[in-house]
A and B are shown apart, each in its own frame.
Chain A
């Protein structure tokens, strides 16, 4: 009979375990963004054509020249991307080498966007079918990555860069040196 008694309490115990799981779920930060799994991994091999005339494109080799760089993934049709233009200027002024990957963009739209919102990029690669974006584990625009001098991904920032985010990115870039 004792064995029967214990079994009767199993449902309650199971429920208490569920409660703990639910409470943990509620307590956890509601962070629904998907992060790249390539942090601390080398960049995959890629080559992107220039997104507009008069500007070099982008390839993995550019990240292996011994200098850490910050790559901003953006698009002219991405409305939130317009909001981070001042912050990108800030980064550029602090000497952070900025390159861009333009997702699914036409040269004329890109030119218009940069003319309106500013152009801090040394090079912009054209990723017309999101091939490279998927290959580096980025799930949307805008996103910003810090890559060290040997082509290893060191930091990812998801979403618009606000003023309060700039120090963190600068710090990540300096740490990557």
Chain B
């Protein structure tokens, strides 16, 4: 009953989506103004309907309704309720329903809250969003029905992949999807503006909060996913340049570039065509990522079950949407006014370079991810992995981060080189000192971590520079946001470089009573005991560790064996300190009664994700700051923002 209701809701939502598209198209024609008022409610209704459909699916999972094929193949009555709930999106059909739900809800949000956009552009935007929805509704209903029933109800379900039976699953995919699919709004805005020829500063100001919101979720989603992989996969890695990971990184890179170029468009009316292009590219990357993950053409630990027919369907959708948008771009963008040119030393210039570097990195990740496909088409197989990606994106990322450090301390319109050098003097000295210290005390670390660690202090200091000499209470919230987000990047960079440079690993086959030394830790293996969980049994080891002879603490790594499906996982034990993490994983015993242990001391590794949270938090402050300003009716002039609370700068611009 619930399943049929869910499917019916999906059909209804799809029908409303079609209605939204037709109404939007009709409303934009001369004489159709009367229809303008109906389009918004239709979009909201569509969002509500599909949200209820998704709730129906969650209900089915929570009830472990085994007559539904999806529940039977991915759930189990003995699973804890959290994983029944999260298991709804731990599979292809369920996550695709989540995808479509976010798409429709995002459209509904625009319909409900967007007030600044020109009427006709808003209608065109909603029509574009509906058009995208239609294709994916069709995909869901005809090729990936989550509500399909089984002719015979099985006694028990297959269970969820044990790697996914973790709180991270409840958190990472939805957050990621809000960003990944939420950026569709930018795509629809861009298509809408191309249709109504409305590409200008007002349009940019309207689009900016939506981009920010999606970008914040994307940042959190990627950060969470990275941390989840770190502790769940049991090997201490936090990024693998896996095709699915790249599929989430590429929209983030595009959205970050878009975030900055839209500011240039909003304030200086430049980079019009470029901003539109980026908005199209960002969501295109999301759609291509969806294709890569679900078509099976690339091998990945994250990929869903393979079905080339589904791949073909999505490919058709890609052709329609991305091809259509790019065609529209080619045809219409010549009507977009040419923007102004920039001074070579100015805030605008730094934003252009920032966009350039982000786009190059994005393109490199894209080419690297797809290259094995290209060579396969020509008859030979290669693998492109971390060695390539780190080599080409690492140095560019370092340059980008330096540009990011310089950007906020550059003035809009025109600045002088020696003045900039003055402002950057203190950070530069900090970096030089760090570099020298590293060369003296840590000569063996690789060149990329060396430079990463060296420039992190200057970037951190430079990102705080806009607050310098300012009345902090009168500094606009979005300036705080920018400062914190940029500072977060420096923090993340420091974490990544430190982990790369200073991680120490110890592999030992230990007998109970044996002591293992890692860095300045003494870890004694006390023994193992069997442990039983709700749907697993495990061997749990007790490790007693002391640091430099301090007070001891216990670590309990486990080797778990799940019953349904039968799979073993390693649950690492992590102890966090202010300056790093001690990470312990247990492996297999050998015939001599010794247990395999892997221990790592990872200095400052938590900075990676703490930085990620800072970045997202900075984005949130920016979003709130801008929305509050709009609400108060204050025009957001960047130069005004520069000088708010900063008497010196005010005097300089007076």
Contact = CB atoms under 8 A, between A and B. Distances in A.
A9 B329 CA distance: 8
Given A16-B323, A19-B318, A8 B295 contact: no
Contacts of B306: 30
Interface in B504-521: none
A79 interface: no
B308 A30 contact: yes
Q: Which of A18, A19, A23 has the most CB of B within 10 A?
A: A18
Contact of A25 (B288, B318, B322, B377): B377
B333 A26 contact: no
Contacts of B308: 26, 30
A22 B281 contact: no
A12 B277 CA distance: 11
A26 B295 contact: yes
Interface in A123-161: none
Contact of A9 (B280, B291, B295, B330): B330
B330 A8 contact: yes
Interface stretch (B80-88, B368-376, B542-550): B368-376
B257 to A, nearest CB: 14
Contacts of A24: 373, 376-377
Contacts of B334: 4-5, 8
A12 B330 contact: yes
Interface residues of A, number: 19
Please report whether the interface of chain A is mostly helix, strand, loop or mixed according to DSSP.
Answer: helix
A78 interface: no
B323 A21 contact: no
Nearest to B332: A8
B356 to A, nearest CB: 15
A84 B291 CA distance: 37
Contacts of A22: 291, 295, 297, 315, 318, 373
Contacts of A25: 295, 297-298, 373, 376-377
Nearest to A12: B326
A102 B308 CA distance: 36
A54 interface: no
Given A21-B373, A21-B377, A32-B299, A26 B329 contact: no
A33 to B, nearest CB: 11
Given A16-B323, A23-B315, A8 B374 contact: no
B364 to A, nearest CB: 14
B639 interface: no
B565 to A, nearest CB: 16
A28 interface: yes
A92 B414 CA distance: 85
Interface in B277-308: 277, 280-281, 284, 288, 291, 295-299, 306, 308
B637 to A, nearest CB: 30
B160 to A, nearest CB: 24
A25 to B, nearest CB: 4
A25 B298 CA distance: 9
Interface of A: 4-5, 8-9, 11-12, 15-16, 18-19, 21-26, 28, 30, 32
- The 4 residue pairs across chains A and B that have the minimum distance between CB atoms: A25-B297, A12-B326, A24-B377, A25-B373
18 contacts: A4-B334, A5-B334, A8-B273, A8-B329, A8-B334, A11-B280, A11-B329, A12-B327, A15-B326, A18-B288, A21-B373, A21-B374, A23-B315, A25-B297, A26-B308, A26-B312, A28-B377, A32-B299
Interface of B: 273, 277, 280-281, 284, 288, 291, 295-299, 306, 308, 311-312, 315, 318-319, 322-323, 326-327, 329-330, 333-334, 370, 373-374, 376-377
